[in-house]
A and B are shown apart, each in its own frame.
Chain A
Amino acid sequence: MATVRRRSIFDIIHDYIEELEEITDEIIERYMESPSWDVKAQSLEPLFNVFVSSDKVTVTVDLPKADPESIKISILSDNLIEITAKMKMKIHFEDFGVTHRRGEFTQFCCRIPLPAPVETSGAKARFLRGVLEITFPRKRGYEIKIE
């Protein structure tokens, strides 16, 4: 005879986490559906990374062949930034051995959502080894005194 086991809270949490993971996978895969290049805008989407620590949010962007002088960082809203950079030279599909597509690329462009509230005015940026690093201090609220 089959026994009906009551599901423990851990089972429920486990299922919930699995469901969340599936949703995350789906979002990632949907994002992957679009190409990393845009022929009309002549732009390539660079690889980027966002690290959140207790006091700052650090964004890095990989910009090989970018002209360091042309890098622009724009704050579009409280939690969205845009990075653009011109390339030192035009890049064609042929440069990658691809001859069945046509197009040339002159710039990098990407929009990066910030996962935590930041003080955009305190941001600092530097360009090291072809990688752009932008550091934002995280927004501070107020302190609660321990009695």
Chain B
Amino acid sequence: MSQDFLNLLIALAAVGLVLGWAYVTKRMQKDFSSTMTWVLIPVAIAINISIGQLVLVLKLPVYLDSIGTVLVGVLCGPWAGALTGALSNFVAGIIFDPGWWPWIPVAATIGLTAGLCANAGFFKTWWKVVVTGFLIAIAATIVGSPIAVLLGGISASGSSIITAFLLQTGKGILESVLTTNFLVEPIDKISTSLLAFAILDGLSARYLARFPRGENAQLDQQRRTSELVIALVTVVILVIVTIVFVVPLTNN
């Protein structure tokens, strides 16, 4: 227990250090320099929650509950994205049940990673967006797995059945949780990023330019339509792959 506590302290210190660095070097302030950021965040949270609920009702095998977070991360910067993710889970905790609150760090990581990738120019063409989605999935897994282990490894979500299955085959808790997340997260996060990309593609350049980091979303102009089609086809393929491979796995 004391070792866990020490690790928690180290993690908190690292987060504090990064936040302090971003504040001192004025990187954080740039994200929040425009009122547009503060107005976009509530809308993004509402998009997260509405689409997340809709997907839940349609019983699709993904969550898609962080499209708004990725949007803010790209348009306003990593720190605004992290804040959106955190507040999104906070508000979901107020509306649905406070069981959302342990996952605040994961949601914040998703927004942060999306913002960092977009700053590096990785939100301009569809294949770069796929890479971004994959990176987001890895970051979310790294942050989420310790929390899942802390909560005992098995939560009420559907993918826990995979974890339970792996545990029975004799793997450790951390290993099982990591494997489960590596199976589920990339499909979800790549679809999320591609949908966010499709939304950005539909918005006008004049509108995007009003955000602090609107230039991140200025897509490469060549073959825009064909790339959008490819992106949508990829989402459909990913959804079908999930239905074909993951759903039978959970049924066993």
Same complex for A and B? Answer no
